[in-house]
Structure 1
Amino acid sequence: MEWQTRFSPLNLSTQDSLPELSVSLLDNFGMITIVGDDKKSYLHGQVTCDVVSLEKAQSTLGAHCDAKGKVWSVFRLFHHNDGYGMIQPKSAIEVELKEIKKYAVFSKVTIEESSDVILGVAGENADAFISTLSAETGDVRSIEGGSAVKAAPNRWLLVLTEEATQTLLDNNQATLTTHELWTRFDIESALPIVGSQAQNEHIPQALNVQALGGISFTKGCYTGQETVARAKYRGTNKRAMYIVRGTTSEALEEGAVELERSVGENWRSVGTLLTHYQFNDNQAMGLIVLPNNLDEDTRLRLVAQPECEWEIAALPYSLDDE
């Protein structure tokens, strides 16, 4: 449709100011929907977050794991239309859809990938803009053609039909841009992004899901719960997700971007970025899972660009257990 051609990349340096209102086309994200009489109980028994107590005006992060506690998906869950929506990286959905449906034959649920458009609204005018779309006041609001879901301060996800998307774009003055700007905001917020290349690699705590309210330790059984509980109560988890920043001599590739760390006079592989954002002044940032006992001043560098050193940046939240 014509509306898709309105979005263009927004090339920014580390010093450039951000738009007061931006709308990003999040074509790198998708959504799984769950409807049916057993939707709440079925989903509650599958994921790390508390589905039963999730109010209509609330959303939550959560993870879906295999039986060994390794993550298939990290998603944002919310009430949508007559069921639930689970927004997550599009590349993860093929595998996640198969896994989340594995036991659905025994319940009255319909689980499928949504065809709705996902947009990201951001900027100091974002909250005011959302208020023009709905008279509701919660963090999840019904709007014409879909839902608005608060993802962070001054950031909202919109899930809309194509017709509603066209109408919305015809009636606002926001900067329309591609998904890279939203990726930057997710990195700065240290929100885990688990695409296909990182599925079945990490337990939820290694992705900081517990620090973001995405794990309930009182809800009862779900797939992978024993591993997740052991990581909390026995301290078996030795990894965490961090923001890293550094220089680049050329643009980072879209695929796997590997880092290594200094060990004495040598360098040793330390992991692959979950996602990254490239500025236009030879700077970049990303998210990566690292050993949680590294010193903050640990030297890192790009494997493909060894002259470019990176460093661990401060997280916007605490990883300490309550």
Structure 2
Amino acid sequence: MSAFTVYATDYVAIYVSGVDAKSYLQGQLTQDINLVEPNTWLWAGQCSAKGKLWACFRIAAYQQGYLLICSADEAEAALRELKKYAVFSQVEITSMTQQVSGVLGDKQALGAHLGVNLDNPATSLPEGLVLTLADDRYLVVADADTLAPAHSSEAFLCAQIKAAEPSLCAAAIDEYVPQMVNLHALGGISFSKGCYTGQETVARMKYLGKNKRAMFVLSAQADSKLAPPLTEGQVQPVDLERQVGDNWRRGGTLIAQAVDQGRLYGLAVLPNDLELDSQLRAKHAPEVMFSIEPLPYSLTEE
């Protein structure tokens, strides 16, 4: 039995390079790009002018530029918006042809297979990159034949959801400011770097205490994911209701979900003062009852 397992993902790696790459991204992302050093990776968000997220990235230095890794839905919006003003800078923005695979398992075995030492958070390959997400969890950007054939993504996605790491589905794009998906708690927002697109809204949420929502990990007994509701053929968000006495009221929205071993796990944006013993259900599938799991990090801001 292999000491590590490879999983398919829908992630895309965006490569930003050129002499203006750092300054361009500094004006586009929530993260301070000066902190993105070789052999590290950080969280970052890309916002609209109104401060709503187009994408949540894992960003790392790579070759002569930076890799931004996110879901395919996020990448579609991110590439469109990043390229919009790139014509005014010496910067190239491309979607890499390499696959982005998830890996669960032993670090030493994976490193030996790839021929590298995985002691750093980010490790360069001849034509790719490895991000260490946890002691036994990795993202590998590499040619398709670098790793063994991939399994279904569900187990890897469940691990990401349990770690409360944000990833936006299509219905969640341009809906939330970064704090609503806990990007501040993951170190993905710099409040001292200066201006970037959407910065005014993000700063107002912090300094005026206007943010009233946060991202939570949910779980439910289920053998399959919830199919999103459709309205006139258009996919709608999976809305949640919370129990208040004998009644049910709007609670929030599910932005990611995966199933593993008879449990449905999800990430949901909910009121940030919600009691952790609250009961929730899917509005369009009320038989699916969710409970709130503990977050692996604190939401308290310094």
In structure 2, the partner of 1:183 is 157
In the alignment, the residues of structure 1 paired with residue 111 and residue 188 of structure 2 have an alpha-carbon distance, to the nearest angstrom, of 25
Residue 251 of structure 1 aligns with which residue? 224
The letter for the 1-side match of 2:173 is: Q
CA distance in 2, matches of 1:299, 1:20: 38
**Which deviations, in whole Å up to 9, do the C-alpha atoms of 1:63-110 show, x marking residues without a partner?**
000111110100100112321111101012222111112211111001
Cα distance in structure 2, aligned partners of 1:20 and 1:87: 25
Q: Distance in 2 between matches of 1:273 and 1:127?
A: 36
**Deviation of residue 128 (structure 1)?**
4.2
User: How far does residue 127 in structure 1 lie from its aligned partner after superposition?
Assistant: 4.7
Equivalent pair of 2:155/2:260 in contact (CA under 8 Å): no
1:258 deviates by 3.0
Cα offset, 1:194, TM superposition: 1.0
TM-score for the superposition, normalised by structure 2? 0.91
Structure 2 CA distance for partners of 1:254 and 1:20, relative to 1, 3 Å = farther
Match of 2:56 among 74, 97, 101: 74
Which of 224, 229, 237 aligns to 2:211? It is: 237
Q: Does 1:213 align with 2:196?
A: no
- Look up the SS of the partner of 2:145 in the other structure: helix
Please tell me the residue identity of whatever aligns with 1:251.
S
Aligned partner of 1:212: which letter?
A: L
Change (3 A) 1:167 1:239: closer
Matched, 1:150 2:132: yes
How far apart in 2 are the matches of 1:307 and 1:254? Answer: 13
Query: Aligned to 2:123, which of 136, 141, 144?
Result: 141
| SS of 2:185 mapped into structure 1 | helix
Aligned CA distance change for structure 1 residues 134 and 254 (closer, same or farther; 3 Å): farther
My pick for the range that moved more, 105-114 or 270-279, is 270-279
- CA–CA distance in structure 2, aligned partners of residues 202 and 195 of structure 1: 12
**Structure 2 regions of 5+ residues with no counterpart?**
229-236
| 1:276 alignment partner in structure 2 | 257
1:130–1:148: 8 Å Cα contact kept in structure 2?
no
Contact 2:158 2:260 in 1 (8 A): no
Task: Summarize deviations over 1:178-224 as a string: whole Å, max 9, x none.
Answer: 22121101101000011221111000000000000101111111111
Q: Percent identity?
A: 39
TM-score under structure 1 normalisation? Answer: 0.85
Candidates 62, 65, 72, aligned match of 1:90: 72
What SS is found at the alignment partner of 1:273?
A: strand
Contact 1:127–1:154, Cα closer than 8 Å, also in 2: no
Structure with bigger strand share is 2
Mapped contact 1:243–1:286 kept (Cα < 8 A): yes
Compute the displacement of 1:269 (Å): 2.6
Counterpart-to-counterpart distance in 1, 2:290 and 2:197: 36
| Partner of residue 166, structure 1 | 145
CA distance in 2, matches of 1:258, 1:268: 11
Aligned structure 1 segments of 4 or more residues deviating by more than 6 angstroms = none
Determine the structure 2 residue equivalent to 1:286. Answer: 266
- Deviations 1:3-58 (Å, cap 9, x if unpaired)? xxxxxxxxxxxxxxxx85211122x1112110111000100111001112211111
**Distance change >3 Å, CA 167–CA 235, structure 1 → 2:** closer
Whole-angstrom distance in 1 between the partners of 2:226 and 2:279:
22
**CA 115–259 in structure 1, closer or farther in 2 if over 3 Å, else same:** same
- Structure 2 distance, partners of 1:20, 1:261, is 42
User: Which amino acid in 2 is paired with 1:22?
Assistant: T
Gapped runs of 5+ residues in structure 1?
1-18, 170-174
Question: Could you tell me whether the CA contact under 8 Å between 2:118 and 2:132 is conserved in 1?
Answer: no
Select which of 107, 131, 136 maps to 1:126: 107
From 197, 202, 206, the counterpart of 1:228: 202
2:145 maps to amino acid: Q
- Report how many aligned residue pairs link the two structures: 292
Q: Structure 1 residues 46, 301: closer, same or farther in 2, change over 3 A?
A: same
CA distance in structure 2 between the aligned counterparts of 1:129 and 1:97, rounded to whole angstroms: 31
User: What SS does the corresponding residue of 1:306 show, helix, strand or coil?
Assistant: strand
